[in-house]
């Protein structure tokens, strides 16, 4: 028996539907291609037939869902139909191929069902933000990023945060850095970075002369900058305007010109302290009383500081005459900061002392709030021939070890270090190295400040920079001095 032509044509459509089902075309594309193939399939008369003329109702319904289910098959009646490779099948396949091509083309160029979301162009401001993000990603000491999913934060910020201007971009960078809850990881605008770079080389600075930090004592506002910690004076610059006005190490800065500092970042406080030479700024301070407690705000001190240009002299030295009843000459060296000149100046002072017959040395680190880390290493080598100077550790453990290299200028002469609450950072590295190697005695009336973190400055392409905390100091004995400090021997 020969198959009725209509039955043969139904069998061909069934085979086509099964082939479409087996493909990996997106369902909506397959549905479009299937419908197009049905409409393009010729009848005996050569005209296109409507779907209901070729498929049972169940098959047509299934095709509207984007696929043909195994149950929605086309009955072949009592015949075998035309072979899959016959002329009619080839014509129908060509129709299907054309339909699929048309359907995919419509989807790609913006068909209503498969229109892709518009691509988001990366702007120059986005790239600047990504530079800052990458600087933290590569170097930051805490690889948990204070619990922030760092990659996800980058993607969401670039997608959702407007960066239409430079200020928008700077604001996005600052917001990103606050997520780390690290007051020492911060953003520097181009002018501030240029000023900081200049200050490490210049001997003349205009301002009030105060080094600040957070003191670790939490106040009520836990959401404030610094986690609600109070702003404290690490040390006033020796000979600077603030020291002359009576500001001391460990004073809390309660307000600047009447504006409370609670909730402000260190750099907002620093900006409030800046101003032209000759202008005045009023500081409200809280100071430890005789019982060790802070004065109440009602009893807070108020001092007026006149901003001016002052000389930052990193090293001063003098050969002291022997004390009564002794024959010992002492070379006194005052080290006020660690800048690019400090190590060379200390070396020269030690050479002068040795040439003048100094029997002992006193290195005064009081109110030295730190500075450039390499300076501390070089000065330690002046007095130490061998031994570990400092360990550098990150979240994974000890990363680097710095040691003396047998180049000391005064490796045997008795050495005494003077410290106070304003001795911090690189000064503590130096004090810890000389004390732990039994090279010096440490004298002072209190423990040192306890800033045991290392920052590096990463310049960005527009002249700005990011200061990133990259590691922690550990003294040669393995002590972590951050928020602990170094206790004097006497």
Write out the catalytic residue numbers. Answer: 425, 451
Tokens 């200390």 map to which residue?
A: 346
Sign, CA torsion 292/294/300/306 = positive
Cα–Cα distances (Å) from 446 to 419, 452, 477, 487, 488, in that order, read 8, 17, 20, 7, 7
Alpha helices in 357-486 (DSSP H): 373-383, 426-436
Q: Which residues contact 449 (CB under 8 A, 6 or more apart)?
A: 213, 234, 249, 369, 421, 422, 423, 424, 425, 428, 485
The residue among 470, 394, 484 whose CA lies nearest residue 431 is 484
The residue among 459, 481, 466, 249 whose CA lies nearest residue 365 is 249
| Number of neighbouring beta carbons within 10 Å of residue 384 | 25
Let me know if 70 is exposed, middle or buried by CB neighbors in 10 A (0-12, 13-18, 19+).
exposed
**Stated length of the chain:** 490
Residue 288 DSSP one-character state: B
Q: Which residues contact 284 (CB under 8 A, 6 or more apart)?
A: 253, 254, 255, 256, 258, 297, 300, 301, 302
Are the C-beta atoms of 17 and 59 separated by less than 8 Å?
yes
The residue among 193, 28, 52 whose CA lies nearest residue 104 is 28
Tokens 């490490």 map to which residue?
A: 200
């Amino acid at each position: 028996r020969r198959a009725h032509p209509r039955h043969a044509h139904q069998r061909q459509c069934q085979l086509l539907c099964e082939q479409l089902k087996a493909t990996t075309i997106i369902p909506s594309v397959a549905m479009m291609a299937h419908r197009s193939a049905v409409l393009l399939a010729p009848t005996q008369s050569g005209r296109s037939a409507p779907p209901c003329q070729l498929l049972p109702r169940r098959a047509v319904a299934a095709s509207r869902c984007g696929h043909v289910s195994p149950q929605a098959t086309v009955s072949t009646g009592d015949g075998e139909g035309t072979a899959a490779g016959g002329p009619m099948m080839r014509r129908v396949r060509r129709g299907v191929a054309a339909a699929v091509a048309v359907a995919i083309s419509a989807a790609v160029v913006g068909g209503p069902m498969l229109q892709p979301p518009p691509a988001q162009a990366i702007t120059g401001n986005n790239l600047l933000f990504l530079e800052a993000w990458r600087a933290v990603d590569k170097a930051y000491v805490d690889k948990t990023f204070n619990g922030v999913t760092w990659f996800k934060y980058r993607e969401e910020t670039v997608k959702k945060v407007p960066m239409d201007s430079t200020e928008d971009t700077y604001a996005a960078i600052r917001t990103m850095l606050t997520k780390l809850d690290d007051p020492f990881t911060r953003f520097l605008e181009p002018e501030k970075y240029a000023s900081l770079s200049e200050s490490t080389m210049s001997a003349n600075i205009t301002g009030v002369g105060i080094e600040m930090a957070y003191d670790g004592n939490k106040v009520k506002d836990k959401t404030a900058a610094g986690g609600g910690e109070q702003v404290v004076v690490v040390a006033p610059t020796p000979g600077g305007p603030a020291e002359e006005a009576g500001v001391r190490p460990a004073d809390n800065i309660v307000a600047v010109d009447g504006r409370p500092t609670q909730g402000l970042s260190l750099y907002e406080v620093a900006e409030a302290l800046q101003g032209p030479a000759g202008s005045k700024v009023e500081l409200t301070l809280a100071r430890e009383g005789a019982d060790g407690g802070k004065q109440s705000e009602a009893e807070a001190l108020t001092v007026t500081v006149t901003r001016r240009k002052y000389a930052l002299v990193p090293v001063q030295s003098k050969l002291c005459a022997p004390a009564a009843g002794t024959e010992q000459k002492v070379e006194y060296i005052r080290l006020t900061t660690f800048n690019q000149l400090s190590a060379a100046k200390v070396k020269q002072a030690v050479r002068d002392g040795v040439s003048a017959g100094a029997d002992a040395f006193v290195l005064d680190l009081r109110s030295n709030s730190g500075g450039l880390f390499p300076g501390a290493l070089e000065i330690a080598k002046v007095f130490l021939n061998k031994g570990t100077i400092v360990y550098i550790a990150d979240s994974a453990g000890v990363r680097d070890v710095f040691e003396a290299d047998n180049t000391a200028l005064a490796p045997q002469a008795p050495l005494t270090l003077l410290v106070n609450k304003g001795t911090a950072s690189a000064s503590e590295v130096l004090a810890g190295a000389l004390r732990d190697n039994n090279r010096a005695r440490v004298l002072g009336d209190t423990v040192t400040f306890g800033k045991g973190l290392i920052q590096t400055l990463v310049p960005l392409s527009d002249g700005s920079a990011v200061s990133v905390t990259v590691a922690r100091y550990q003294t040669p004995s393995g002590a972590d001095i951050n928020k602990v400090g170094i206790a004097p021997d006497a």
